[in-house]
Amino acid sequence: MRSMMYRMIWKRFIDIISSILLITLLSPFLIITALLVRLKLGSPIFFTQERLGLNGENFTIWKFRSMTNCRDKDGNLMSDEYRLTKFGKLLRDWSIDELPQLWNVLIGDMSLIGPRPFIAEYGSRYTSEQMRRHEVRPGISGWAQVMGRNSIGWNQKFILDVWYVDNCSFKTDLKILFRTIPIVLSRTGVSAKNHVTMPEWANTEEPEEKM
């Protein structure tokens, strides 16, 4: 009951106050970053994408753009590895590209702490157990992020996300927050091996044991 009350009231209150404070304090840095993105990568400044959020509902996530729009001779976008620039990699390595998601937190699409939101098309591939990750708002950082980020496999991410749903509390969120800071500063687990971020998830991995 106490955990449910935290999710419904206090967690949202903390998100609103924290996002307002962070947006205000970081506004000069956000403006400078936006100008640099415009200068180095052109328009648009922001990358938007449909992600799956609370209760499996779609929302639009906001990130600073980190890739060019280079296309092949047939007009198809080139691979992520080809389109990611040195400046874009810098944004990703330091998680600067994620900062516009403070807006998503403010308007209620996301939380500061929660399972990372995956692209909307993955929703049709979930098992009922995996879908439980959407019983809470997705977050800028989460339990899977501090337990390996993109260096761990997809199935392990789902197991960790469901664990968070079952153990969500103020204490757990503080633990994740304090673990997030050194991970961001050390740029640990930004990408999977031999990938810019993570390979596409096809739900073909063998089931893993629950925590």
Domain locations in the chain? Answer: 2-186
Q: Looking at this protein, which amino acid is placed at residue 92? A: R
Task: Categorize the per-residue pLDDT at 206 as very low, low, confident or very high, splitting at 50, 70 and 90.
Answer: very low
φ, ψ for residue 77, nearest 5 deg: -60, 140
At residue 205, does pLDDT exceed 60? no
Query: What does the block give as tokens for 67?
Result: 């890739």
Query: Please, what's the largest Cα pairwise distance for the chain?
Result: 58
DSSP code per residue over 34-86: HHHHHHHH-S-SEEEEEEE-GGG-EEEEEEE--B---B-TTSPBPPHHHHB-H
At residue 50, does pLDDT exceed 90? yes
124-132: average pLDDT: 92
Which of 80-84, 127-131, 199-203, 204-208 shows the lowest per-residue confidence on average (mean pLDDT)? 204-208
pTM score, whole prediction:
0.86
> Which pLDDT value is given to residue 7?
75
Close Cβ partners of 95 (under 8 Å, ≥ 6 residues apart):
184
> Which pLDDT value is given to residue 204?
57
